[in-house]
Amino acid sequence: MIHSRNRRLRVNESIRSLVRENILTTDDFVMPIFVMEGENQQEAIPSMPGIFRRSVDLTVKECKELFSLGVKSVNLYMKVSEHLKDNTGKEAWNRDGLMQQTIKAIKDAVPGMIVMPDVALDPYSIYGHDGIIENGKIMNDATNDALARMSVSHAEAGADIVAPSDMMDGRVLAIREALEESGFTDVGILSYSAKYASSFYGPFRSALDSAPKDNLEIPKDKKTYQMDFHNSREALNEVFKDIDEGADIIMIKPGLPYLDIVSKVREAIDLPIAVYNVSGEYAMVKAAAQNGWLDNDKTIIESLTCFKRAGADMIFTYFAKEAAIILNK
């Protein structure tokens, strides 16, 4: 005779929900948003069905709708005009730049929205790299100086949290010191501590034209600064260093193929953990759903819940708006 039957706790939905270990809510989501120049402009991103580049005015409108659905955080990326790109990234800290305009506009229109601008030079670089290049190499320390200036300009515009995604060594400390010296002691740092050199970023790079340019004199990829996907212990090393330098939140990117990293970091630290459900993951689900191979809504909710089960506290996801609509039903 069987005395212990695990299925007793799966008999019906009421019992299953009573003993459920992880609950997904709209509070868990950060929506990445692509911004472009112009007014009343919107462009579809073919590789990411349902995702658009929008001008500032339409971005504000989208933020209002997101907030009404319960999505209270956005992560900003700029589609920078070619004539503004160079090898210094100076447009990144232009007080009247597109990023700074966007931060101000969102905070004016939706004061409760948490605005997390991306901190990296690749959208501003003529080379498509996250760093300043000299003699064919990515210059770590010179890039850190630029990232610090960029972060302070974001804080001046009203950003709540800056999100360095570049993977330069020591950049969290450089940004933290610059923010402190400028009086922005309450502005947080969400550090992409374990960001892997991944094939899953393709649709994102096409959305921003931020892929490394085909130039024999520069690195053809980002493997000299982003992490090797074969490694896991290295992720803990990166995380611990960023915490020591003043990071407030730790990011792991990509997401679904890297849940082992999320779980390992969760066991090692007490700080909040963010995970990025990246563009390639989004595109795969959308392609399969459009072909009738997957149930769109069920797959979205299951995937996002897996991040929480692995130990993430917040999820950067292009599904944020769609998932909020599903959950609000």
Supply the residues annotated as catalytic.
195, 253
SS3 letters across the chain: CCCCCHHHHHCCHHHHHHCCCCCCCHHHEEEEEEECCCCCCEEECCCCCCCEEECHHHHHHHHHHHHHHCCCEEEEEECCCHHHCECCCHHHHCCCCHHHHHHHHHHHHCCCCEEEEEECCHHHECCCCCCEEECCEEEHHHHHHHHHHHHHHHHHHCCCEEEECCCCCCHHHHHHHHHHHCCCCCCEEEEEEEEECCHHHHHHHHHHCCCCCCCCCCCCCCCCCCECCCCCHHHHHHHHHHHHHCCCEEEEECCHHHHHHHHHHHHHCCCCEEEEECHHHHHHHHHHHHCCCCCHHHHHHHHHHHHHHHCCCEEEECCHHHHHHHHHC
Q: Is 194 in contact with 255 (CB distance < 8 Å)?
A: no
d(CA 148, CA 93): 9
